[in-house]
A and B are shown apart, each in its own frame.
Chain A
Amino acid sequence: AQKVTQAQTEISVVEKEDVTLDCVYETRDTTYYLFWYKQPPSGELVFLIRRNSFDEQNEISGRYSWNFQKSTSSFNFTITASQVVDSAVYFCALSEETSGSRLTFGEGTQLTVNP
């Protein structure tokens, strides 16, 4: 069975600080995808990244970066120089090949960036 754990329920930082959101997953599949989504107060899910299980390269997109480590089953997300607009709930999610495209979401991390 697939499981995603986001141990940090809430994080509060001051603008311009770097912040890392943790994500640990469990799966028995060798082929799977990991995702990060941002959910602002308006509710829609904003897609941030999708990473397949065979690609462990870290990725950087502007102020966002992701660290995928299969050895520790983690897919952590770092925001550099955080901004107030980054305040949102962030979800990590997992999709196993044997489960089709069904996503299992973590509990989410509420990030608050204070000015």
Chain B
Amino acid sequence: GAVVSQHPSWVICKSGTSVKIECRSLDFQATTMFWYRQFPKQSLMLMATSNEGSKATYEQGVEKDKFLINHASLTLSTLTVTSAHPEDSSFYICSARDAGFNSPLHFGNGTRLTVT
């Protein structure tokens, strides 16, 4: 079946540095990808919708200059956490669909980010 690969699965970085997370659709083309964030013992919250070849759409309250999203191809979307702070420590997970609304969503395995 369709697979979404997310890399890295975990990362530790120092405060002030930037971290890039990749989300790849391995056997289908994803026109749209979604980035979610999950704090410990909380639900998943949508951060942004990434559309191939156009700017991402950010949810209210998500800083677009801090969380840079690039969807340069139909199989790759990247999320860059810029100038990371300890409060950015979270579990980030992407999802992708290979067609319209009726097509199923596929999730990556997530990236656990720890900012020290």
Enumerate chain A interface residues (CB-CB to B < 8 A).
31, 35, 37, 43-45, 47, 50, 52, 91, 95, 97, 100-108
Q: Give the complex CA separation of A100 and B57 in angstroms.
A: 12
Residues of A within 8 A of B101 (CB): 31, 95, 97, 100-101
Tell me the B residues contacting A by CB distance below 8 Å: 32, 34, 36, 42-46, 49, 91, 93, 95, 97, 101-105, 107, 109-110, 112
Contact across chains for A44 and B109 when beta carbons are under 8 A apart: yes
CB contact under 8 A between A91 and B43, given known A101-B97, A101-B105, A103-B95: yes
Question: Complex Cα distance A50/B103, Å?
Answer: 10
Give 7 new A-B contacts, CB below 8 A, not counting A95-B101, A104-B46, A107-B42.
A37-B107, A43-B109, A45-B44, A100-B32, A101-B105, A103-B34, A103-B105
Q: List 22 A-B contacts (CB under 8 A).
A: A31-B101, A43-B109, A43-B110, A44-B107, A45-B93, A45-B110, A50-B104, A91-B43, A95-B101, A95-B105, A97-B101, A101-B32, A101-B34, A101-B101, A101-B103, A101-B105, A102-B46, A103-B46, A103-B105, A105-B43, A105-B45, A106-B43
The 9 closest A-B pairs by CB, nearest first: A44-B109, A45-B107, A105-B43, A105-B44, A101-B97, A43-B110, A107-B43, A97-B101, A108-B43
